[in-house]
Amino acid sequence: MQLAMETKSVDRRAGTRPVSMGPLFSPIGNPLAEMGSRLRFARNAEIYAEGDTADRFYKVISGTVRCCKILADGRRHISEFLFAGDFFGMEAASEHRYTAEAVGDAVVMVYQRNLVERLVERDLGFSRWLRAQVMDNLDRAYARMLSLGCKTACERVVSFLLDLVERTDCDEQIELPMSRYDIADYLGLTTETISREFSKLKHAAIIAVKGQGQRIEILDRQALSEMAATD
């Protein structure tokens, strides 16, 4: 695990975006705040590896993190992308089941697991909030399963874009932090298919793709919503 310890100074970038602790837990008097260390990771740096002892847990301050797993024959699966404000690294087991990596340069807070667990037992509000956090993760996991289990390539890409808009608080301009490969492994498709689906949406004037394909503008949000195959 390659890491660069930073000073515990206030993160200026984090300040540009309110990092909500959720409705059940006010960031004022946040009992976690004092317990963590700030770490900075370079693009593609490993935060922890599959099999590492899961004795800490993490919160994204800035940048994007991906959790992934590689099968014996090289197939890769990305279980989650995590954005500013998201927590990750909590495990049922004592070892991490997935590898966590910085997608671009990223800053994360690290908390000792046993400290967090002690806090959970002392602080009822924190305990409620943490449970809500885990339940949200579960909800997202079920939404992903639905995508992977019964949606077409087009529907998956559209759902992905809409989810991204919701989770990172951008409106119509999306700055994709991850590559087509990452998106492919996240959606259970190939880079080529992702590229083709983006092209189709572009030609249908539903989105506009700028730069090296990293900047996406949503031109017709309603059309996009109607293509997402919700229930």
Partner DNA sequence: CGTATCATTGAAGCATTTCAACTATTGTGG
Partner DNA sequence: CCACAATAGTTGAAATGCTTCAATGATACG
Binding site for DNA (CB under 7 A): 152-154, 179-181, 188-196, 198-199, 209, 211-214
Tell which positions 9-48 bind its own copies, by CB under 8 A.
Answer: none
Report how far residue 42's alpha carbon sits from residue 102's, in angstroms, rounded to the nearest whole number: 7
String marking each residue 199-228 x if it binds its own copies according to CB under 8 A? ------------------------------
Phi/psi of residue 13, nearest 5 degrees: -70, -40
- Helix and strand numbers (H, E) in the chain are 7, 12
Name the residue among 211, 107, 208, 98 with its Cα closest to residue 161: 208
Please report how close the Cβ of residue 179 comes to its own copies at its closest, in angstroms. Answer: 17
What Rg, from alpha-carbon coordinates, does the chain have? 18
Tell which positions 76-135 bind its own copies, by CB under 8 A.
Answer: 76-77, 79, 90-93, 97-98, 121, 124, 127, 131-132, 134-135
Please report how close the Cβ of residue 99 comes to its own copies at its closest, in angstroms. Answer: 10
Residue 29, burial from CB neighbour count under 10 angstroms (0-12, 13-18, 19+): exposed
User: What are the residues binding its own copies (CB under 8 A)?
Assistant: 50, 69-73, 75-77, 79, 90-93, 97-98, 121, 124, 127, 131-132, 134-139, 141-142, 144-146, 148-150, 185-188, 229-231
